[in-house]
Amino acid sequence: MNMKEAELATARLLEVMDRLRAECPWDREQTFDSLRNNTIEETYELVDAITDKNMEGIKEELGDLLLHVVFYSKMGDEAGAFNYADVANGVCDKLIYRHPHVYGDIHADTPEEVKQNWEALKLRKKRRKSGALGGVPQSLPAMVKAFRIGEKAAATGFDWEKKEDVWAKVKEELMEVDAEIEAKDKEHLTDEIGDLFFALINACRLYGIDPEGALERTNKKFIRRFGYVEQRAEELGKTLHEMSLEEMDKYWDECKQQENK
């Protein structure tokens, strides 16, 4: 990357933001609260582009997200609280502090050691009264939150000694789900299914698998195969409601076989 080009592009974006905030009625009336949902939407659009490995889409969505960073920074400047330089310098200071193996004399030879140091430094720096899990945002989606909780707990040493041991916990939780199904206790069943999800998410963490990404792959696979069944039904002049389960299973398996060729 050409550093001069990056500096010019950043200066241009800041200038555009200044003008929009001054002259555009919509941009002028925005607040931190009014932009919040848009920021969440833009973040998910970036995630979609990443999932699809759409490099052009990733570039575009990163630009949209960068706009939000600049927008919030502009509003912070207007309030006399912070500006874009404060935001950029703040993250630089944080990165330098949390990478003592690069900027200091601490040794970290593996990604796991880097992550452990990172979490320990975060906790030490902020001295959270709420403890090691206090930095997990409450508004995170439950699956992402569970993954981060597992990571932060593991960074303190609270983890399975061997990753294979997590499957005993998964089986234990599955047995407890079965027991609550037998007992017909919906409240306890809800708790146990939650415990089962949490154990499975921890298994994903231990095996280096993104649970959100894994589930999204399955979502897309289901949509693709179900769409194939719908298409075959249409070719036969039927609706899905007019097909038997055996017929639908037949075309589902047919789609699977085509995928595996």
Q: How many residues belong to the chain?
A: 261
At residue 97, the pLDDT reads 85
At residue 81, the pLDDT reads 97
At residue 240, the pLDDT reads 92
At residue 6, the pLDDT reads 92
> CA of 115: how far to CAs of 63, 107, 152, 228, in Å?
28, 12, 10, 43
Three-point CA angle 130, 131, 135, nearest 5°: 75
> CA of 161: how far to CAs of 113, 154, 164, in Å?
16, 10, 9
Other beta carbons within 10 angstroms of residue 158's beta carbon come to 10
| pTM score, whole prediction | 0.64
Q: Where are the domains of the chain?
A: 1-31+48-81, 213-259
At residue 127, the pLDDT reads 53
At residue 130, the pLDDT reads 65
How buried is 166 (Cβ within 10 angstroms: 0-12 exposed, 13-18 middle, 19+ buried)? buried
Other beta carbons within 10 angstroms of residue 150's beta carbon come to 22
C-alpha–C-alpha distance, residues 105 and 92, integer Å:
18
At residue 123, the pLDDT reads 66
pLDDT in tens, 16-54: 999 999 999 999 999 999 999 899 899 989 988 998 899
At residue 126, the pLDDT reads 58
- The pLDDT tens digits along the chain (261 residues) read 788 999 999 999 999 999 999 999 999 999 999 999 899 899 989 988 998 899 999 999 999 999 999 999 999 999 999 999 999 999 999 899 888 888 877 777 787 777 777 777 776 665 555 677 877 888 788 999 999 999 989 988 899 999 999 999 999 999 999 999 999 999 999 999 999 999 999 999 999 999 988 998 899 999 999 999 999 999 999 999 999 999 999 999 999 999 887
At residue 261, the pLDDT reads 73
Q: Which residues contact 261 (CB under 8 A, 6 or more apart)?
A: none
Quick one: CA dihedral 12, 13, 18, 20, positive or negative?
A: positive
